[in-house]
Amino acid sequence: MTIDIRVRDHAARITMSGRFDFEVHRDFKNAYMTLLDKGAVREIEIEMSKVNYLDSAALGMLMLLHDRAKDAQKKVSLLNASSESMQVMEIANFSKIFTIKIGV
Amino acid sequence: MELVEWNDSFSVGNVLMDAHHRIFFETIKEFSKFPNKNDHEAIRKRIEFLIEYAAMHLGAEERLMRQANYPDIDEHKATHEAFVRELLSVKESFDKDPSSVTADAIMKIMQDWLVHHIAGSDKRYMPYVQNMQGLAH
């Protein structure tokens, strides 16, 4: 798994590649915590097109981000998740909780 | 350890709380299948993650109850605080002596609490939350 962070204007994009599972939880948290502290960042996008595996802990990590971003008054969007990842995320109704964008 | 599968009877009528609860069940299930039970560092990291997740969930639930003007919020919060104290105490025992408490026992404490708490306490705030959601629509 690699994690890449790009900040452009008011949006920050975290690109996840490979296995998005418990093993990356510390790196994922470090990545978004620095962005939550940045006043200029209003939206955090998680780019997921290169994620080839997603486990339940990853859903928990995304939910922790959702909660903390709400506290920091920032939006979270999940971008370009594969149909397999979407299937896992729909276990917890993510499409009703997160902004999900495909093809961006 | 007997694992509990999510079913609709666990629903508290709020999409976010249901998602939190379901992910909690699924992650406990996933971690309980972790093969290296003697890898104490890996187990410790998983316990810490579940405690962090539980704290997030309980805080979000308390915010929701406040928004819904749930009258028994103080009593409910007290059960949350007791649960967090129990988790921290079990974690402390594990940190001192990993052989004193098994990973399965910790997962079981979390799962049992979740089952009983949803079925008991959480269901009681359900009508207030549904009333709030109905008014909002």
Report the CATH number that the domain containing residue A27 is assigned in CATH.
3.30.750.24
Give the minimum alpha-carbon distance from A34 to chain B in angstroms, rounded to a whole number.
18
Does the residue B11 lie in any domain? Answer: no
Closest CB from B27, B45, B59 relative to A60? B27
pLDDT, mean of residues A85-90: 96
User: Do A60 and B23 make contact, defined as CB atoms within 8 angstroms?
Assistant: yes
Mutation for B interface: A20, A22, A30, most B CBs within 10 A: A22
Q: What is the pLDDT of residue B36?
A: 85
- Summarize pLDDT for A51-72 with one digit per residue, the tens: 999 999 999 999 999 999 999 9
Closest CB from B19, B31, B60 relative to A92? B19
Instruction: Specify the pTM.
Output: 0.95
Q: How far apart are CA B134 and CA B121, in angstroms?
A: 21
Whether residue A80 has pLDDT greater than 80: yes
Tell me the CA end-to-end span of chain B in Å, nearest whole number: 42
Residue A25 CB partners (closer than 8 Å, separation 6+):
A57, A61, B45, B49
Q: What is the pLDDT of residue B137?
A: 61
Does the residue B6 lie in any domain? Answer: no
Q: Give the total number of structural domains in chain A.
A: 1
Going residue by residue through chain B, which has 137 residues, state the pLDDT in tens, using 9 for 90 and above.
889 988 999 999 999 999 999 999 999 999 998 888 888 999 999 999 999 999 999 999 999 999 999 999 999 999 999 999 999 999 999 999 998 888 888 899 999 999 999 988 999 999 999 999 887 66
> What CATH number did the domain enclosing B107 receive?
1.20.120.50
Range of the domain at B81: 40-136
Residue B78: how many other CB atoms lie within 10 Å: 11
User: Which value does ipTM take for this structure?
Assistant: 0.95
Does the residue B26 lie in any domain? Answer: no
Q: Give the total number of structural domains in chain B.
A: 1
The A-side interface with B (CB below 8 A) comprises 22, 25, 55-57, 59-60, 63-64, 67-68, 91-94, 96-97
Q: How far apart are CA B111 and CA B109, in angstroms?
A: 6
CA closest to A65 among chain B residues: B56
C-alpha A25 chain-centroid distance: 12
Does the residue B23 lie in any domain? Answer: no
Does the residue B28 lie in any domain? Answer: no
Does the residue B55 lie in any domain? Answer: yes
Give the minimum alpha-carbon distance from A54 to chain B in angstroms, rounded to a whole number.
12
Q: How many Cβ contacts (< 8 angstroms) between chains A and B?
A: 52
- Summarize pLDDT for A7-50 with one digit per residue, the tens: 988 999 999 999 999 999 999 999 999 999 999 999 999 999 99
Range of the domain at A46: 2-101
